[in-house]
Structure 1
């Protein structure tokens, strides 16, 4: 058995260190199991809350910071058929539905499909209005607002991977 002299005159043995490491590893395993159990549900609910709140804002004229962008994007995507409050109502409805589906877990797969459609709309301005969103100084604040949604896509992928492990059918 090896030993190491400590500054206090005591001697620390390797077996004492091994015991501390074993307890630390056991504690880490408990924390890891807890995080593994709550991680995806917490991510699902928090993602749902984000979509619920931002979707609800779209029903209140003048409250959403992206109101004009949403209307212009719908106008471009629908070739002029959808704009104004209808664009806000459709977007708000989709986002609120996604939020409720994610928070409750009810119709989660349908919510994931709606979220995929929502992401098309979210990132479309980067294509339609690239000249306005990116300047020589870099992305505008609006472009940054859109680009941060890459994190939401990654979160949605994790939630989808978990939700799609069960077979389709009745419970």
Structure 2
């Protein structure tokens, strides 16, 4: 068999490699399209519920003195922010109650806008230790408490997405890459 006839045997016969590749590509594109549709319907609700569970979990810990690793810092922050009106366990109970309330509004979706407003205030309070206790949190490298606060950036970003949805925003297709 000559070289030319060998190549002719690879020519299109209606059921060759290229048809299978095209079919596989179409199947993958269909799966991706279905996944994107499912994610657009459910991902923000999953984010809302998971964020709510985080708030319920951390808030619940704060109801029990000595259990929350952030207890001393959160109490000191609220004492400073309230100019001494709230201190000790009273401050801790207020923080715990607010966090559990926020979490329950997120998990259930009930009173969601109210919960988001409360969360906006709480998030400001979460970052307040950076202004109030900067030298304690950053004696050189960031302390564990400073790192604990830093992760709240993710909570704030999630709250923005959930807030946008609660106010009527919807996911839109991404712009095509240039």
TM-score of the two chains, using structure 2 as the length reference: 0.84
Mind listing any 5+ residue stretches in structure 1 that lack a counterpart? 167-171
* Alignment correspondent of 2:86: 82
* Alignment correspondent of 1:144: 147
Within the alignment, does 1:117 sit opposite 2:121 as a pair?
Answer: yes
Within the alignment, does 1:160 sit opposite 2:163 as a pair?
Answer: yes
Within the alignment, does 1:30 sit opposite 2:29 as a pair?
Answer: no
Whether the 8 Å contact between 1:48 and 1:101 is mirrored in structure 2 is yes
* Alignment correspondent of 1:98: 102
Query: How many angstroms apart in 1 are the aligned matches of 2:83 and 2:151?
Result: 27
* Alignment correspondent of 1:126: 130
* Alignment correspondent of 1:108: 112
Per-residue CA shift, 1:99-138, capped at 9, x if unaligned? 00000000000000010111111111011000010122x2
The structure number with the bigger radius of gyration is: 2
- Offset at residue 11 of structure 1 (A): 5.5
Please point out which of 13, 17, 33 is paired with 1:12.
17
- After superposition, the CA RMSD in angstroms is 1.8
Per-residue CA shift, 1:71-125, capped at 9, x if unaligned? 1101111111111011111101110100000000000000000101111111110
Runs of 4+, deviation exceeding 3 Å: none
Query: How many angstroms apart in 2 are the aligned matches of 1:75 and 1:125?
Result: 11
TM-score of the two chains, using structure 1 as the length reference: 0.87
Query: How many angstroms apart in 2 are the aligned matches of 1:101 and 1:76?
Result: 27
Residue 17 of structure 2 aligns to a residue in which SS? strand
Larger strand proportion, structure 1 or 2?
A: 1
Query: How many angstroms apart in 1 are the aligned matches of 2:9 and 2:71?
Result: 67
